[in-house]
Structures are given as structure tokens and as C-alpha cells.
Structure 1
Amino acid sequence: MTTSARMLRLLSLLQTHRYWPGAELAARLDVSARTLRRDIDRLRELGYVVDAVRGVAGGYQLRAGGRLPPLLLEDEEAVAIAVGLRTAAAGAVAGMEETSVQALTKVIALMPPTLRRRLDALLSQTDNLVWGGGPVVEAGVLTTLAQACRDDEPLRFTYTARDAEPAERWVEPHRLVSLGRRWYLVAYDRDRQDWRSFRVDRVDAPRLGGSRFRPRELPAADAVTFVQAGIRRMPQRYAVRVRVAAPAGVVERAVGSWGSVTPAGEGCWLEMNVDDLQWPVMVLAQVGAEFVVEGPEELRAMVARTAETFRRAAG
């Protein structure tokens, strides 16, 4: 193995961020302990911060440094980063559009032709819908919450719940969840001694606690299920009921777990509890079948306005 190939292999192993005993790492690379130490020194010269423990049981571990050194990415990781940057460039997170475009340009420029063709194929066959009118999350808030989730670090922040005054919260963050137009933080609330989901657009001034906590077991299959269950329990402004002239399976695929679908003859009934009527309008538009709104009256009015808008645009 050449020196360059060995260095790339070493970097790939260290980027798992696990602690590597020196003897095991040297065996993986098929080199002596002395050669391994020289390779570690070369990585440090490139800007990587590698901690070392000396002695017979000593070893190495890569940690974050003061600046971003070159990254070594697997093919699938590179494609995933490019897709994620493209989504951020569409405006889902405030303040990230321009920097996401710049980063995306650099990633694509460094891709070998085979990977670039794979990315082009994926993007050309994918339709992205950025819903308008939803809350926009501050990039700094989102990255702070993500760091706390990753490092099991407690958080303090000011939170403004619906129809409530701002209040300080002290939580153990578990996971960030993106649903539709909104981001949620799933966390254990230390003051209330219970699990909660927080809308990230209502989080202000998050501060890291500077310590670590032992993660608790989430009382749900996963964070997405937990957030969805909480939303369904919340009182909503509108109770939507629509008769749709389409098979129940078609409507179920469009609405997902955000509504209930009951077969009725050759069609079905769609029921949703929502705060925002744009959501059922988008579901009905996606189904593309005839329908009759039973309620509420506000939904009939929104459908009429939307239909008139599209009629003028078409003619």
C-alpha cells in the first residue's frame, strides 16, 4: 500500500470518531507502531486534531479542531451531502440559501464523473416541494440544537408555546424532526419531568449546558412517531371532512398519518384536524379527484379562492 493510500485509509478509520488502540490501528494498516506515529503526525500537519494516549494500552482518537480540514467521504455520503445542500438552498432554513449554494458548488466540482452522473440522475427524477407560508427556522438555532442532540448535552432556551408567555426551559435533547414545513425538537423536560416536543421556530436563544447526560429511553418507537402522536392530541382549529371520489388507498398515500380515511362506495371520506387549511387543500390537489367539502365553511371558501386563482392563471 502506498503512503497516500495508507493515509486515506487511516483517515477513514479515524473519522468514525471511536478510540483506536494503537496496536489495532497499526494492524489494520499493516504497519509498525513507528510508521503509524509518523502518519498521525502528517495528519496533524494537515489540520486534523488527533488525541494520543501513550503507553502499552495507548491509542488515538480524532476530535474536532479549530478549523475544517479536508474531509474523506464515501460515495454514498457525498451524494447525501449534495442532496441535503440542495434542499437547504431551496430556503427551508433561514440564512442558509447562499452558503448552501456555495457549498453545493464545491461538492459537485470535486465529485468524480461517475458520482456526478448518479447525483444528476437522482435530482432529475425527484420533485421537491417547498411549502410556502410556513415558519422559517434560524440556522444558528438549528445547528445549536443539533449539536446538543449529537453530544448528549443539556440545553436551556426560551420557549413561547401557543397562547402563552415566553418561558425558560431546561431539557435533555434527543432528536430533531422535520415534518412538512416545521422542525421539532424532541427532548426530556427536566422541570416538568416528562418528554416534550418543541417547535423550533418558537425556540429562542438556546444555550449549551456544558456537561453530559445519560440518554433516557424515549416512550415511542422513534422521534417521528412521538411528534406525530403529540400533534394529533393537540386541539386544532378546524375539523375537516371531505367526500373524495377516489379509492381510499390513493387518499391515504396523500395524507399519510395526518388524517383518517374511511371507504365509502367507490370513494371515501377524508377527515383531518388542522390549524392551517392550506394542508388539506394541498392533499386534495395531490389526489386530483373530484370532491365535496362537508365542512368547515372556511375550507369551502379557500377552495373557491384557490380555484378562481388557477382559473385566471389558465385563461
Structure 2
Amino acid sequence: MSDTTSRALSLLNLLQTHRHWPGSELADRLGVTERTVRRDVERLRELGYRIESSPGAAGGYRLEAGSALPPLLLTDDEAVAMAIGLRVAASQRLVSGPETTLTALAKLEQVLPAPLRRRVTALAEALQPAGLNAGAAVSGEVLGELALACRDHERVRFTYTSAAGEVTRRRVEPHALAPADRHWYLLCWDLDKVHWRTFRVDRLADVEHTRVLFAPKPLTAEEIEEFVLVARSWVRQAVEADAVMELPIDEMRAYFGQWGQGAEPEDESHTRWPVGGSDFRETMYGLTWIPAGVEYALDLAEPARGELREALERMLRALDAPPPVPRER
């Protein structure tokens, strides 16, 4: 780095630390003449920094906000503080636009030297904002890598551990990161399943960048929200069942859309679809969404099976019985 460039950066650092600097004091700090300070100020102005100057004995220089964001010069401590703040904001969803927070964090951590990254990680893990209940622990490094892959439309590989403990290696085209119910979800196109999938980020590890770019598939904000809503519902239920429908997997997915997640082909003409709820009533409600005319077998354990049968039998008796006599007004 040339002496002129080094001196200009030192001048910028001084201007960022105080609201107003007399020209003579800047010259003393930098060990140059006031004329040299004026030349360095002009160089910074050419780079986009708005520096106001005032003449006279009480005059000097001050850095003002401009119409565009020029490069920032940060000390080690300032960079660490900023990275920690972004990590907390991202993990706790303290600001709107989570993608912006994550990409900013990723860009900053990308240029931090290894010792500073270790400081950021240690301090961020020790910091717990008051009044907020955190969800499952999520690696800030993993979030940043996924955010950049979403932004750059780059395929990635990662290891995923399901709720049941099954470990698989996935190849995906990442589309969006979304927070919900104190968890982070990655919405992506699964290259092996050839379908949209949503993964909990806290169950994801060993992110590998492939350097292979892809053209993103069209997806609206409403569709992203629905995918995440479906993913949030994929937790172990008190009553769980499998409905095996006389419907090929492609037709089933076309009909159910995002709510067909978790469905697997039983054979060429049948699809197994997991459905459940907090009790047999919610399971029954889910079954009503199976298309009209489609027969299915139901794997539902007792006592929910007996409770559902009793409720349906009463409904059938009520439908077969004559309607009650209308009340006279």
C-alpha cells in the first residue's frame, strides 16, 4: 500500500471517530502539513465521502452522510461488535428482512481474519438477549453460507438429520431462508427428490459449495409462506396415521401442492401420505382433504381408531335419521 493511500485511510479513520477535527490537529496527528491534509481530503471526496470543510481559526473538517454508502473503515473491535450484533439480530429475528441481515453478516464474516471470527463466535454464543426465548441453536456460519447461496443461486450439498434421527446427504438449489416459531427454515429444490423441500437449519451441517449456478424457479412470496407453514406443522403429533391412497404420487402432489410434503410412492398407482393431529378429530379433518372418489386404506392405531369410528358412526346415524321437526317461530 502506498504512503498516500495509507495516509488517506488513516485520515478517514480519524474523521469517523470524531464529529469535527481542526485542520491543524489532523496535520499533527498524521505528521504532515495542513496542505497535505487538504489534498487527502480531496482524494476521499473523489471516492464518494462527503467531507465538509469550514475556514477560520475554529474551522476544520467533518464527515457527513452522503446519498450513497461509501466503503467503511472499521477497527478490529468495531468489526467484531458489528458481526455480533448482526448474529443476534439474525438468530432472534429482531429486524425485518432476515435475508438482508444474513447476507450482511455473511459478507462481513467472509473478510474477517480467523482470530476475529473466533472472537465473534465465542462472544455471540455467550450473549443471550433478555426477554427472548431462543429456538434450537443455529450456526451463524451455516446461516451466512446458505444466505449467500440463496443470493447467488448456487447449488449446495449438506448433511441433514431428520426428527427421527435419520442422517442423509442432500443436493439442493437453495431458494429462501425464513424464520418461524423460533426456528430457521431453508426452502429449496431437492435435486434427488425432484421436488420442493423445506429443511430445519438447526438440523443441517457440513454445507459444501459446489460452484454450480442455477436458474431459480419462479416462486411467489405467498408460496414461500405456505411452504414454511407446512414445515412448521411437521412436528410429531399425539395422533399419527398413514393414508395409502389409490392415487399415483405425481397426481397426489399436483392435487395437494405444498401439503403433499412427506408423501411417498407406495407403488406405481398408490401413495402413502402421513396425516395426524393433536387428537382423532384433527386427523379426521386431514382425511377429508383426500380427493372425492379416491379410495384409501388407513393405518391408525388405537384408541384413536376406535374414537374416530364411533364419531363417524354417529354422524352416519344422524344423516340417515329424519331431520328434526323445524321449530315454530
Fold match (TM-score > 0.5): no
TM-score of the two chains, using structure 2 as the length reference: 0.37
State which structure, 1 or 2, has the greater radius of gyration over its C-alpha atoms. Answer: 2
